[in-house]
């Protein structure tokens, strides 16, 4: 037995006259329950209108550009009676009373609003003032029960705070870096009726299987890309891409990073056809996904050869690993090695260490390297730039924010000294110590790890003669510093023992060529030998 039901626009909250930006199906198409039919766009978000049941589209009476509101009928669908329909508990009660006309009633297909709900921090034990390290939703997002809203991090673990309601995010009350405790309000959701378990009712003459609205499963996260050995999708860029939910779902199923897709819709919106065209282009060799041509690493059961101990990666390693891989695959790396004579610098530093310690400052060689890098960056501003997203321009930064690699128990972190050009050697040394301590204690704030225009990675305190640091993209260069050593250096008449500091300068060859790189390290080496200039106070 079959029947026609109307397809209606669900509750859109306070929005009216919302524009249709894409038609996803046509008359005669077969669809499954929850498949997107059309896409609407408010000033806050794109919304897919789902199919109320599995069946065949009889007609759609809307076009791109039409304006719609809650309850508007947009077409009809031919369904088999007994199929699962999108209904609410109120409609289920009507069917139980024998009212089967609700199957074609527009109101019956829209979830019932149950008002705004404030979602707060649940019981987190003895912890208080816990830091927010990630916010997963923004205003206008649709969430289901148990969807993660944000991530908190204590000194022992990171935890997701799940949604306790299904609906639309109306307000996000916290941001990254805020601290919260049990009961602190986090998000306000315009909630719709809560899911119920499936029931079966038998009104006279007709039998209809009624099921409550079930939260849609999340789209698979880059399953195709992982299966093909591709790098993980750049979630930060993916979330900001101008595309509807159905397009995002398709992209994830195909393993496509939307950052790489050029949209052909209004305001450069990415459409289904754009994603399909991108995949076709990749398959025919017209475009390349990063890592797409790389052979997969063989999977080995190491336990066959002896005892093993499986330890999960730390959160920092999970974040930094894909970023480093993306930088290595996308940037043509070249490394220039050089030696700087720091004999006089080290002698003067030893003289100043005592007075500096009395002021509570540990005067390390890295502070002098940072100071010298500022001078070199001003002399060669291209090293302090970034390549624009389209690859056609260089962004020259008028600020000098220096990142430095800090070793922690959970992995390397990169704190940032902002406006390093406005600080003298002592101020740089003091901030180095403070940020390093905060990194080791896990107390760095988000803004203390952002905005670097150039990065230094110093391994001199550990050892090594040279290495190849990976550029911290979107920066275009990074300086590696190894352990200094006494070496015989010819001065024109004899060999003299000099304290030489190995420098490893890695750079993006699209922006910096070899001649510029060697001039940079040569200038840096000369600057490190001029101790008086490095010690001058900032005017």
Active site residues: 509
CB 192 within 8 A of CB 167: yes
What are the structure tokens assigned to 42, written together?
């408010």
Taken as a whole, the chain contains a residue count of 539
Q: Which residues contact 345 (CB under 8 A, 6 or more apart)?
A: 365, 368, 528, 529, 531, 534
CA separation for the pair 73, 422 (Å, rounded) = 63
CA separation for the pair 400, 384 (Å, rounded) = 8
Cross-strand partners of 22: 39
Q: Describe the strand order of the beta sheet including 55-60 as a list of residue ranges.
A: 2-8, 73-80, 55-60, 30-31
Q: Which residues contact 404 (CB under 8 A, 6 or more apart)?
A: 366, 370, 414, 415, 417, 432, 435, 455, 456, 457, 458
Residue 203 class from Cβ within 10 Å (0-12 exposed, 13-18 middle, 19+ buried)?
Answer: middle
What are the structure tokens assigned to 70, written together?
């809650």
CB 418 within 8 A of CB 452: no
CA separation for the pair 47, 11 (Å, rounded) = 11
Phi/psi of residue 104, nearest 5 degrees: -115, 15
Query: Locate tokens 């400052």: which residue?
Result: 361
Could you count the other beta carbons within 10 Å of the beta carbon of residue 404?
A: 27
Q: What is the largest CA-CA distance in the chain?
A: 111
Task: Mark 348-373 as b/e (b = at least 16 C-beta within 10 Å).
Answer: bbeeeeeebeeeebebbbbbbbbbbb
CB 244 within 8 A of CB 39: yes
What are the structure tokens assigned to 110, written together?
């829209």
Query: Locate tokens 């003299």: which residue?
Result: 496
CA separation for the pair 60, 38 (Å, rounded) = 9
Query: Which of 364, 366, 371 has the alpha carbon at shortest distance from 349?
Result: 364
Query: Is the CA virtual torsion 511, 517, 523, 527 positive or negative?
Result: positive
Query: Which of 250, 244, 307, 251 has the alpha carbon at shortest distance from 18?
Result: 244
What are the structure tokens assigned to 439, written together?
């990194």
Query: Which of 95, 94, 84 has the alpha carbon at shortest distance from 206?
Result: 95
Torsion of CA 138, 139, 142, 147, to 10 degrees: 40
């Amino acid at each position: 037995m079959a029947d026609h039901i109307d397809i209606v626009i669900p509750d859109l909250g306070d929005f009216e006259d919302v524009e249709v930006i894409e038609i996803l199906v046509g008359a005669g198409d077969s669809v499954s329950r929850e498949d997107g039919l059309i896409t609407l766009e408010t000033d806050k978000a794109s919304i897919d209108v789902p199919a109320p049941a599995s069946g065949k589209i009889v007609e759609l009476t809307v076009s791109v550009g039409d304006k719609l509101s809650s309850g508007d009928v947009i077409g009809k669908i031919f369904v088999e009676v007994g199929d699962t329909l999108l209904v609410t508990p109120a409609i289920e009660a009507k069917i139980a009373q024998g009212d089967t006309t609700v199957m074609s009633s527009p109101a019956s297909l829209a979830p019932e609003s149950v008002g705004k709900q404030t979602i707060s921090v649940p019981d987190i034990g003895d912890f208080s003032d816990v830091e927010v390290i990630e916010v997963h939703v923004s205003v206008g997002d649709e969430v289901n029960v148990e969807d993660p809203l944000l991530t908190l991090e204590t000194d022992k673990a990171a935890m997701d705070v799940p949604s306790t309601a299904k609906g639309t995010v109306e307000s996000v009350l916290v941001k990254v870096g805020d601290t919260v405790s049990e009961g602190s309000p986090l998000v306000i959701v315009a909630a719709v009726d809560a899911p119920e378990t499936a029931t079966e009712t038998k009104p006279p003459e007709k039998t209809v299987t009624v099921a409550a609205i079930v939260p849609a499963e999340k789209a698979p996260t880059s399953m195709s890309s992982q299966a093909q050995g591709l790098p993980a999708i750049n979630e930060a860029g993916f979330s900001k891409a101008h595309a509807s939910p159905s397009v995002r779902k398709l992209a994830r199923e195909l393993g496509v990073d939307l950052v790489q897709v050029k949209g052909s819709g209004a305001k450069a919106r990415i459409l289904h056809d754009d994603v399909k065209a991108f995949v076709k282009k990749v398959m025919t060799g017209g475009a390349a996904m990063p890592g797409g041509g790389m052979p997969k690493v063989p999977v080995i059961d190491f336990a066959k050869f002896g005892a093993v101990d499986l330890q999960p990666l730390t959160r920092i390693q999970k974040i930094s690993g894909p970023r480093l891989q993306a930088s290595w695959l996308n940037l043509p790396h070249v490394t220039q090695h050089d030696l700087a004579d720091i004999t006089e610098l080290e002698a003067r530093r030893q003289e100043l260490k005592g007075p500096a310690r009395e002021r509570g400052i540990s005067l390390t060689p890295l502070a002098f390297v940072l100071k010298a890098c500022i001078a070199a960056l001003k002399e060669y501003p291209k090293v302090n730039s970034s390549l624009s997203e389209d690859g056609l321009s260089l962004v020259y930064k008028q600020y000098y924010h220096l990142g430095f690699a800090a070793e922690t128990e959970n992995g390397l972190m990169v704190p940032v000294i902002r406006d390093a050009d406005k600080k003298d050697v002592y101020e740089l040394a003091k901030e180095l110590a403070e940020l390093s301590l905060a990194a080791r204690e896990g107390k760095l704030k988000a803004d203390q790890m952002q905005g670097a225009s150039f990065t230094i990675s110093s391994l001199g305190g550990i050892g090594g003669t040279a290495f190849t640091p990976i550029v911290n993209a979107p920066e275009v260069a990074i300086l590696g510093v190894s352990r200094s050593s006494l070496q015989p250096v010819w001065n024109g008449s004899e060999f003299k023992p000099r304290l030489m500091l190995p420098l490893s300068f890695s750079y993006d060859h699209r922006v910096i060529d070899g001649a510029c790189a060697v001039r940079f390290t040569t200038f840096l080496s000369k600057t490190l030998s001029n101790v008086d200039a490095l010690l001058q106070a900032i005017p």
